[in-house]
Chains A and B, each alone.
Chain A
């Protein structure tokens, strides 16, 4: 009975502690967190173990996580401001570059600068001798895809869902390998472009289909390509 009273006391303290999380986090996770804490208390009571050490350890760990969440919130908001400034500067730069091309009468694709890659053997092998020119970036497709895409943070990386879907195309490529993505066309929910892995993993034209849910994509095919 005394242990059950203790458990109730510790649960109340924990519920109050969860109130220190940022509001959005609290709304989403406070209830399941309380439930899990309650399950763990129950497990210990059933096993005849004390709750004091466990509760203090959980409070300390939770408090550290609360601080982390608040710091992350601050960093995210300043990043958002930085992103807005960057987007504005990038937008102006694109307009200036486009104007220069128009003035001098030379209008190549804006992103014809896909880097050359030394090893295409594996890519050719994968496509059994098929060779097709790599699809270049077009600003129109890039902007259209961006509207339907969703960005997220995972670890230290900022990625889009489309990039995530494309990056997992070849399981053989080790995690952490740099790769570049072009967006050539976006029509009827189908994105076409090229992706180039570094360290000789090759360049491929990809086809990715948009799924009904926002930010969800499905890789349909990849074909080894060659830079023209």
Chain B
């Protein structure tokens, strides 16, 4: 018998990468631009952080490497594309569900909302 935990809360970098890839496979630069756009410029991911996170996600089976190909919207260089896996979709769904529960809980507790000054 083993003791373990369900999906641990995802780091912001992992969460944003999964969201970026949920719209389709992307190369490194494409992921960066998508994260920047999704977060309305609030999250800017460096190259080291992006590929460090991708490595952990590849190891965990959350994303997979696709074939190298040319991005028609860019130059003729062949780029490595990354795509979300079934496990990645599951982890993303679980995390979003967790966020929804927290928001629902907060809304139910008007006292907490007053304490944090939400909606004041």
Residues of A within 8 A of B (CB): 25, 28-29, 31-33, 35-40, 42, 57-58, 61-66, 68-69, 111, 113-114, 137, 152-157, 159-161, 163-165, 167-168, 171-183, 197, 215-216
User: Contact: A57 with B1, CB < 8 Å?
Assistant: no
Closest residue of B by beta carbon distance from A219: B90
List chain A residues, Cβ under 8 A from B8: 154-157, 175-176
B2 close to chain A: CB less than 8 A: yes
List chain A residues, Cβ under 8 A from B98: 174-175
Closest residue of B by beta carbon distance from A142: B1
User: Contact: A32 with B4, CB < 8 Å?
Assistant: no
Residues of B within 8 A of A (CB): 1-9, 11, 27-29, 32, 46-52, 54-56, 59-61, 74-75, 77, 79-80, 87, 90-91, 93-95, 97-98, 101
Q: How many A-B residue pairs have CB under 8 A?
A: 138
User: Contact: B94 with A61, CB < 8 Å?
Assistant: no
A171-B97, A172-B97 known; A57-B28 Cβ under 8 A: no
* 24 pairs from A and B in contact (CB 8 Å cutoff): A29-B51, A32-B80, A33-B51, A35-B28, A36-B47, A58-B47, A61-B47, A61-B48, A62-B48, A64-B48, A65-B48, A65-B52, A69-B52, A113-B1, A155-B8, A157-B4, A163-B2, A167-B6, A168-B90, A174-B98, A175-B7, A175-B9, A176-B6, A176-B8
